[in-house]
Amino acid sequence: MSTDVTTARDRRLVGPADPSFPVLHGRPDHGWVNDPNGLAHVDGVWHVFFQHNPAAPVHGDIHWGHASSPDLLTWHAEPVALRPTPGGPDDVGCWTGCLVLDGPDRVPTAVYTGVGAGGPEQAVTLVATSTDGLRTWAQEPAAVAVPVPQEGVREVRDPFVFEHGGHRWAVQGAGHPQGRGRLLLWRCDDLRAWEPAGELLTSDDPVAARWAPANTWECPNLVPFGDRWLLVVSLWHWRDGTHALDGVSWLLGDLEPAEQGLRFAPTDGGALDGGGTFYAPQLLATDDGRVLVWGWSREDERDPADVEATGWSGVLTFPRDLLPTPAGLAVVPAPELLGLRREELPGTVRTERSFEVEAAGPVELLLVTPDGTPRPVVTAGHDGPVRILVDGSLVEVFEADRATTLRAYPAPGCAWEVRGDSRSYRLAAPPR
């Protein structure tokens, strides 16, 4: 449930001055943010790249923004990493991709979708490298993968690279507005010479059809997960003459040999997040076996006039851990986030921008308007212990191994109210 009571356009509150702006999540002060890209942990530093329009809070002229953190708590704005190349294959935008530490020298290499004058239907895969600690990047003009036209596929994008069986592979999302989602597979031991290797998975698979119905699968991620493999896809549908972003599914299964390469055989699945504004997550499998995930939360239910007036749109979630369980997987807050907790807050009314609610049972969070009207945001805790992390307009709920991302937009003079037996803590980044 979202609650929009913002009057920011009347008060001209821009960027972080807007009470709805999430100050702990590491997004730029202005402009558009969508898909997380290129997650990496290099030399003890966490790096998160993301789709970004620095000029306006709308999707267009997409760059790769960049933030880094030593601890997953304090985020530092880095220079823009990738920029559209005038007249080049990414002239329209540098869209979603991943980051590979390539070769014996572990050269940071961004692998991404380049959209040029031909639009998304003629997107190609491009690479860029960094030699200064992921701060600046050299974008290479030659496409490393150009999808071959095939029936039932209109768009191919969002490369994600993984290793299996002593080789390096890449998977891309694909589909058609009147078709069904599919994943294309490439062999890419040489990141500059990709070889098509057929399809990794299609919606003909009954498990995939049940848990991940879509016209196009976007932003595929495939990582080792315990003794299985975890696949995550975002669900793109064509509806009423336009596209709809309909959530994110996970599929758990095995990789099997196939005629051209590999086949993913899923056995179970589910929703990665229960909220309506969570989309296009990216996974990071670390060297110590950990799997983290960040997702994009959209402003779907905010008044477009408020978005324009405040100058920002979109935010990435807090990092979450994905854990294998007998039921499939658990989604829990990264344990580092406990480091954001400060003093315990008394009473039931919260005027802080950022706070956490912890309860062993049912609890309700409401947003109270300046005239005293309470508007429900979420009720949780009926299935056991619950944590609710609030940062501006972003509300992240964790209970029973599930996550739900919600939005509620406080205006000046609003307050939060917590009902139920619980404890609350102010959240703040550690002092520098």
CB 312 within 8 A of CB 9: no
Which residues, other chains included, contact 127 with Cβ-Cβ below 8 Å and sequence gap of 6+? 109, 110, 111, 112, 140, 144, 191, 192
Per-residue confidence (pLDDT) for residue 2, from 0 to 100: 40
CA 266/CA 55 separation, integer angstroms: 42
**Structural domains in the chain, sorted by start:** 30-336 (2.115.10.20), 337-427 (2.60.120.560)
What pTM did the predictor assign?
0.96
Each residue's pLDDT tens digit, 127-145? 999 999 999 999 999 999 9
CA 388/CA 405 separation, integer angstroms: 10
Question: Is residue 10 scored above 60 in pLDDT?
Answer: no
Per-residue confidence (pLDDT) for residue 278, from 0 to 100: 98
b/e burial code for range 392-419 (CB count within 10 A of at least 16 → b): bbbbbbbbeebbbbbbbbbbeebbbbbe
Each residue's pLDDT tens digit, 160-201? 999 999 999 999 999 999 999 999 999 999 999 999 999 999
Per-residue confidence (pLDDT) for residue 12, from 0 to 100: 61
Strand order in the sheet with 138-139: 93-102, 107-115, 124-129, 138-139
Catalytic residue numbers read 35
- Confidence grade of residue 8 (pLDDT, cut at 50, 70, 90): very low
Beta pairing class for 242-257 and 328-333: unpaired
- Confidence grade of residue 400 (pLDDT, cut at 50, 70, 90): very high
Comparison of pLDDT for 11 and 343, the residue scoring more: 343
CA 277/CA 405 separation, integer angstroms: 7
What is the gyration radius of the CA atoms in the chain, in angstroms? 21
Per-residue confidence (pLDDT) for residue 240, from 0 to 100: 86
Structure tokens at 127: 């690479």
Which residues, other chains included, contact 149 with Cβ-Cβ below 8 Å and sequence gap of 6+? none
CA 282/CA 40 separation, integer angstroms: 11
The mean pLDDT of the chain is 95
Structure tokens at 360: 């062993």
CB 183 within 8 A of CB 173: yes
Each residue's pLDDT tens digit, 319-342? 999 999 998 999 999 999 999 999
Q: How many residues does the chain have?
A: 432
Question: Is residue 7 scored above 90 in pLDDT?
Answer: no
- Three-state SS sequence of the chain: CCEECCCHHHHCCCHHHCCCCCCCCCCCCCEEEEEEEEEEEECCEEEEEEEEECCCCCCCCEEEEEEEECCCCCCEECCCCECCCCCCCCCCEEEEEEEEEECCCCEEEEEEEEECCCCHHHCEEEEEECCCCCCCCEECCCCCECCCCCCCCCEEEEEEEEEECCEEEEEEEEECCCCCCEEEEEECCCCCCCEEEEEEEECCCHHHHHHCCCCEEEEEEEEEECCEEEEEEEEEEEECCEEEEEEEEEEEEEEEECCCCEEEEEEEEEECCCCCCEEEEEEEECCCCCEEEEEEECCCCCCHHHHHHHCEECEECCCEEEEEECCEEEEEECHHHHHHEEEEECCCEECCCEEEEEECCCEEEEEECCCCCEEEEEEECCCCCEEEEEECCEEEEEECCEEEEEEEECCCCCEEEEECCCEEEEECCCCC
CA 297/CA 315 separation, integer angstroms: 5
CA 317/CA 389 separation, integer angstroms: 10
Strand order in the sheet with 76-77: 76-77, 63-69, 45-53, 31-42, 312-313
